[in-house]
Amino acid sequence: MTTTPPPTTSFALTPEQRAWCAQLRTLGTERLAPLVTEGEAGRVNRTLLRALGELGLLARAVPGAPPWRRVAALDLCLLRESLAYSCPEAETALALQGLGAGPVADVGTAEQRARWLPAVAAGEAVAAFALSEPDAGSDAAALALRAEPEARSRNDMGGTGATGGTGGWRLTGTKTWISNAPWADFYTVFARTGEAPGSRGVTAFLVPADRPGLSGRPLDMLAPHALGTLTFDAVPVTRADRLGEPGAGFRVAMRTLNLFRPSVGAFAVGMAQAALDASLAHAGRRPAFGGVLRDLQAVSHQLAEMATRTEAARLLVYAAACAYDSDEAGGNDVALRAAMAKLLATETAQYVVDAAVQIHGAAALQRGHLLEHLYREVRAPRIYEGASEVQRTLIAKELYKEKEKHKEKPEELYKETNKEARHP
């Protein structure tokens, strides 16, 4: 798995990219899915993570060696879509590694990157992205976790030691719904340092799991993934633990989410495609009213609708990823496209999986059935990394922001357009 698929120049994948996706699906089915049962439900599956590292797949989500090149968004989307189709657990494990280590790759120091990124890419260290709080989920700017400056120690004449000095803080508060908690080896933590109100007063920190005062407990969720609550009781962090500049943590978080939001859509598309393919197979063989299910117009039209919506979501995901990868000058509306892709794909996947359950009937509700599994898995992506309602708000905000940038009177725009039409 060392060949990098070439970038796409349109919304149709190249033969090399299609072959790579097929290979990923096969790996998911044959190499990764059997490892799922070796882990305990609701906990980090380190055996699965190591396999993802050995196959070179984690290195697609986490830059594991200098010069720490930025992960390609389209590459990440193809990877997540293909794994979601064949082994959603492997897809989730990979994505959480990328999300947790994303800020380290983005703004980490040379020491932070060298210490953690190779281990994360190898599946030897577990990363976690600790943003959400009990009262700050979708409204990430409402974070309450406090980073309180430590008092200057008598023995500290300007140093930044772990237990005091002008460069240290103590983290106090709670994070919850944190993936990989409480079993991660380090957490990317966003805390309020107070340089300014709202989102401008948040700073990012890299917090190893063995810091004194840090504890956690698991949460029992609908889909049994490693998810938990973290409690920070005056946890010490220093200037060396900071990720980026003071007060710039919210921007660090948003840059990471702008990269991963399209790939959340890709995850959803992969599950939708799996549900669609299962429905096509079932409708083609299930006896019904003297024929098979697909002979019923209601069923065939439902399948056509499922396929059309899935493809539309896939194309929007690819478009958002390509915009991110080519955004050198910041002119590709990355935030807008990422929000649109995440919104449409996750809502579409919910619709497609639900329709697939309806086509299969009661059998799909039986524990262990593919669709029973997908039905539980598909619900969470509409909430995490920005709920659908938040994506709609973000989209509207970005649309009006773009409108403000191009304030032209309609009549002037009309005249200019017609002038160009008359004089090509």
pLDDT, one tens digit per residue, over 360-411 is 999 999 999 999 999 999 999 999 998 999 999 999 999 998 777 767 555 5
pTM of this prediction exceeds 0.85: yes
pLDDT at 145 over 60: yes
Q: Give the pLDDT band of residue 38 (cuts 50, 70, 90).
A: confident
Q: Is residue 5 part of a domain?
A: no
Angle at 101 between CA 96 and CA 104, to 5 degrees: 165
Longest dimension (CA), the chain: 89
Residue among 88, 342, 61 at smallest CA distance from 223: 88
Token duo for residue 135: 């009262």
Q: What are phi and psi of 44, to 5 degrees?
A: -65, 130
User: Is residue 385 flagged as an active site residue?
Assistant: yes
Q: Please tell me the distance from the alpha carbon of residue 251 to that of residue 418, in angstroms, as a whole number.
A: 41
Residues 387 and 261 in one domain: yes
Write the CB contacts of 306 (distance below 8 Å, at least 6 apart in sequence).
272, 275, 276, 279, 351, 352, 355, 356
pLDDT, one tens digit per residue, over 313-323 is 999 999 999 99
**Residue 295 DSSP class:** G
Last residue of a domain, one of 72, 99, 125: 125
Q: Residue 61's domain spans which residues?
A: 15-125
Token duo for residue 354: 């639900």
Q: How many structural domains are present in the chain?
A: 3
Residue among 386, 394, 391, 388 at smallest CA distance from 137: 386
Q: Is residue 293 part of a domain?
A: yes
Q: Please tell me the distance from the alpha carbon of residue 294 to that of residue 300, in angstroms, as a whole number.
A: 5
Residues 236 and 316 in one domain: no
- Of the candidate ranges 33-37, 38-42, 319-323, 365-369, the one whose mean pLDDT is the lowest: 38-42
Q: Please tell me the distance from the alpha carbon of residue 220 to that of residue 392, in angstroms, as a whole number.
A: 29
pLDDT at 8 over 90: no
Q: Give the pLDDT band of residue 324 (cuts 50, 70, 90).
A: very high
**Residue 32 DSSP class:** I
CATH number, domain at 398? 1.20.140.10
Residues 137 and 118 in one domain: no
Q: Looking at 267-418, which runs of residues are DSSP E strands? A: 287-288, 291-292
- Please give the single-letter amino acid code of residue 28: G
Query: Would you say 120 and 97 are in contact if contact means Cβ atoms under 8 Å apart?
Result: yes
Residues 223 and 100 in one domain: no
Last residue of a domain, one of 189, 212, 247: 247
Residues 152 and 94 in one domain: no
Residues 353 and 339 in one domain: yes
Q: Is residue 413 part of a domain?
A: no
Last residue of a domain, one of 213, 247, 281: 247
CATH number, domain at 149? 2.40.110.10
Q: Which range among 66-75, 166-175, 309-318, 399-408 has the greatest average pLDDT? A: 309-318
The one catalytic residue in 385, 408, 411, 420 is 385
Residues 370 and 394 in one domain: yes
pLDDT at 115 over 70: yes
Q: What is the CA radius of gyration of the chain?
A: 23
Token duo for residue 97: 């590694």
Percent of the chain exceeding pLDDT 90 equals 76
- Axis-axis angle for helices 88-107, 46-54 (nearest 10): 70
pLDDT, one tens digit per residue, over 218-268 is 999 888 889 999 999 999 999 999 999 999 999 999 999 989 999 999 999
Token duo for residue 149: 């400056």
Residues 331 and 377 in one domain: yes
Q: What separation in angstroms does the CA of 203 have from each of 108, 139, 156?
A: 13, 16, 23
Mean pLDDT of all residues belonging to the chain: 89
**Residue 72 DSSP class:** P
